[in-house]
């Protein structure tokens, strides 16, 4: 009899376990990871489970001119190399800023993937392999999100890397836009119930990689118009942006521009301002350290062209433009891309 009792208890627990996951997955979690009608949920939305901050959107390219991916049989005006911002990471309408360059400024733009050696190193490898001469760009844009800029550019560069016959197979890779596809039984279901509760008391729900803060004005069009979601690493890397590290970054970019000058190529550096940094002055009772990355970089003498995304986009916030960044994402929206390349004329 005891054995039957244990079997019944075990069976009941299994049913409760499966039932819990099935219900939470079906009625809540699934909508964050398996999109209905091709609607996209942002990375911060998936990490936080804060449905009131979602901005559901479809991927659609409606601009008349579009950039191209790597093809060594064509010459281009502009070559872009960057991270997820350069590869349509924010999703939604006109997700590629390069298409605004093509459309607004009537330039032929090619986006390529970077080598795992680094972004500056990628340009040097292309030069050493003769690919830069084939593409014959007049302009190169190096883009990286602010929080990664010191790691990528503020280091000792192997300026002879282009002479070392490194493989260029990285050029044939496509950027991975795939999202996690969990089964209905997973730990995300626990987080889906736990995080919204903990966010009532802790701005990062103790365990989450997404912070939430209240803004002094409505700057988003989602249900939570005055709530800012931002990534934990926006805060983590602020201390690394100091005068010493930014001076090295600036020197490396200056040196690259001097090398490119012989080929009549202009270098543009476009650090994408971290979401926290951009919105920080509008956070109520902001308790976190402020980033000075852009303020410090502005002070240095530059041989290259600096696209100051913070200065451009901050003016949009000052004018109460909503959704400059997507409410549920670490990436900016098409509004930012359009504004940047209306203001910055590549020449």
What CATH number is given for 1-347 in this structure? 3.40.50.1110
Q: Nearest Cα to 302, choosing from 245, 260, 257, 242?
A: 257
Q: How many residues does the chain have?
A: 347
β 39-40/57-58 pair status: antiparallel
Sequence-distant (≥ 6) Cβ neighbours of residue 302 within 8 angstroms = 250, 253, 254
C-alpha 21/C-alpha 11 separation (Å) is 16
150: left (phi over 0), alpha (psi -120 to 50) or beta: alpha
- Tell me, what's the pLDDT at 33? 67
Per-chain mean pLDDT for the chain: 91
pLDDT tens digits for 90-149?
Answer: 999 999 999 999 999 999 999 999 999 999 999 999 999 999 999 999 999 999 999 999
pLDDT by 10s per residue, the chain, length 347: 566 666 666 666 666 666 665 666 666 666 666 666 678 889 999 999 998 999 999 999 999 999 999 988 899 999 999 999 999 999 999 999 999 999 999 999 999 999 999 999 999 999 999 999 999 999 999 999 999 999 999 999 999 999 888 888 898 888 876 666 776 666 777 788 889 889 999 999 999 999 999 999 999 999 999 999 999 999 999 999 999 999 999 999 999 999 999 999 999 999 999 999 999 999 999 999 999 999 999 999 999 999 999 999 999 999 999 999 999 999 999 999 999 999 999 98
Helix (H, G, I), strand (E, B) or coil at 253: helix
Q: Nearest Cα to 111, choosing from 70, 75, 149, 140?
A: 70
Helix (H, G, I), strand (E, B) or coil at 256: helix
DSSP line for 158-226? -TTGGGS----GGGG-----------SSSTHHHHHHHHHHHTTT-TTTTT-SEEEEEBSS---SSSSTT
CB atoms within 10 A of CB 135: 20
**pTM of the model as a whole:** 0.92
């Amino acid at each position: 009899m005891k054995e039957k009792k244990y079997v019944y208890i075990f069976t009941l627990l299994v049913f409760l376990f499966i039932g819990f996951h099935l219900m939470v997955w079906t009625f809540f979690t699934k909508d964050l990871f398996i999109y209905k009608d091709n609607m996209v949920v942002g990375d911060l939305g998936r990490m936080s489970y804060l449905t009131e901050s979602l901005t559901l959107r479809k991927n659609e390219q409606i601009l008349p001119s579009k950039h191209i991916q790597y093809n060594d049989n064509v010459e281009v005006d502009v070559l872009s190399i960057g991270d997820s911002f350069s590869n349509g990471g924010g999703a939604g309408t006109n997700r590629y800023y390069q298409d605004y360059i093509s459309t607004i400024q009537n330039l032929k733009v090619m986006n390529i993937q970077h080598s795992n050696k680094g972004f500056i190193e990628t340009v040097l490898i292309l030069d050493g392999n003769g690919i830069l001469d084939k593409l014959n760009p007049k302009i190169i844009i190096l883009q990286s999100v602010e929080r990664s800029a010191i790691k990528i550019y503020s280091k000792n560069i192997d300026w002879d890397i282009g002479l070392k016959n490194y493989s260029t197979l990285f050029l044939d890779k496509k950027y991975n836009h795939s999202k996690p596809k969990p089964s209905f039984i997973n730990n995300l279901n626990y987080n889906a119930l736990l995080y919204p509760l903990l966010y009532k008391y802790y701005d990062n729900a103790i365990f989450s990689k997404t912070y939430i803060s209240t803004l002094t004005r409505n700057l988003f069009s989602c249900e939570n118009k005055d709530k800012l979601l931002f990534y934990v690493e926006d805060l983590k890397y602020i201390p690394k942006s100091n005068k010493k590290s930014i001076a090295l970054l600036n020197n490396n970019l200056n040196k690259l521009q001097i090398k490119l000058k012989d080929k009549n190529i202009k270098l543009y550096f476009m650090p994408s301002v971290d979401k926290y940094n951009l919105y920080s002055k509008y956070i109520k009772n902001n308790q976190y350290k402020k980033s000075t990355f852009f303020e410090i970089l502005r002070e240095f003498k530059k041989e290259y062209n600096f696209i100051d995304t913070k200065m451009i986009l901050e003016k949009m916030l000052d004018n109460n433009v909503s959704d400059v960044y997507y409410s549920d994402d670490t990436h900016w929206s098409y509004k930012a891309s359009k504004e940047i390349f209306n203001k910055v004329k590549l020449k």
